[in-house]
Amino acid sequence: SIKPGDVIAVGDSFGWVNKIGVRAVSVITRDGKEHLIPNEDLMTTAVENWSYSDRNVRMRIPVGVAYTSDMQLVQELLYRAVDESPRVLKDPVPRIWMTDFGDNSVNWEIRAWISDPEGGMGNIRGDVLMRVWNLFQEHAIEIPFPQRDIYIKELPGMGGAEIPAPAPSET
């Protein structure tokens, strides 16, 4: 069951239902493209109706921080970022969860609800992440990136001799 205005996903098509015709349904994507989906496909393919009985949609936004971060402050700043984003609903209340200890970061997830998925998901995710970035910059919270140190004990043709450490540079 779909109706004009519903936000649906069918295969690679995601958008809101514009018109329902005898042979096909017109779906307008966020890029303004119109996809005509044959009615037969709607009967034989899985259809996600994001707004069938409720227009609210939950978004998940992952964020990673350095292990040296103050985790209480991180949690407070994430709540503040999501709370200040105008499209995020106050009810249901957004949730912030520490999800795991990763290789390079402590991973968190923001779970927040919006009521207008036809307005786009990427733009709200970008808004929240920009707010997170600015708050983290203000409070010196580091967003880590993978770094690897490589130590080479020996190279072929060196007869087992270790590679000497580089001499300190003169300035």
- Domains parsed from the chain with CATH numbers: 7-49 (2.30.30), 57-138 (3.30.70.100)
Give me the mean pLDDT over the 31-42 stretch: 89
**What are the residues whose beta carbons fall under 8 Å from the beta carbon of 113, sequence distance 6 or more?**
56, 57, 58, 59, 88, 89, 92, 94
The token pair at 137 is 């910059």
Q: What digits encode the pLDDT tens for the residues 140-157? A: 999 998 877 788 877 777
- Looking at the whole model, is its pTM more than 0.85? no
Instruction: State residue 7's pLDDT score.
Output: 86
CB 108 within 8 A of CB 62: yes
Q: Coil, strand or helix: which one is 8?
A: strand
**Mean pLDDT computed over every residue of the chain:** 88
User: Is residue 116 predicted with pLDDT exceeding 90?
Assistant: no
Identity of residue 2: I
Query: Which residues does residue 26 pair with via DSSP β-bridges, in sequence order?
Result: 19, 36
Q: What is the pLDDT of residue 164?
A: 65
Whose CA is closest to 47, among 32, 23, 25, 31?
25
- Tokens representing residue 53 in the block: 């009985």
Q: What is the pLDDT of residues 37-90, one digit of tens each?
A: 999 988 888 888 876 677 788 899 999 999 999 999 999 999 999 999 999 999
Sign for the pseudo-dihedral over CA of 58, 62, 65, 71: positive
**Distance, CA of 39 to chain centre:** 32
Q: What is the pLDDT of residue 29?
A: 86
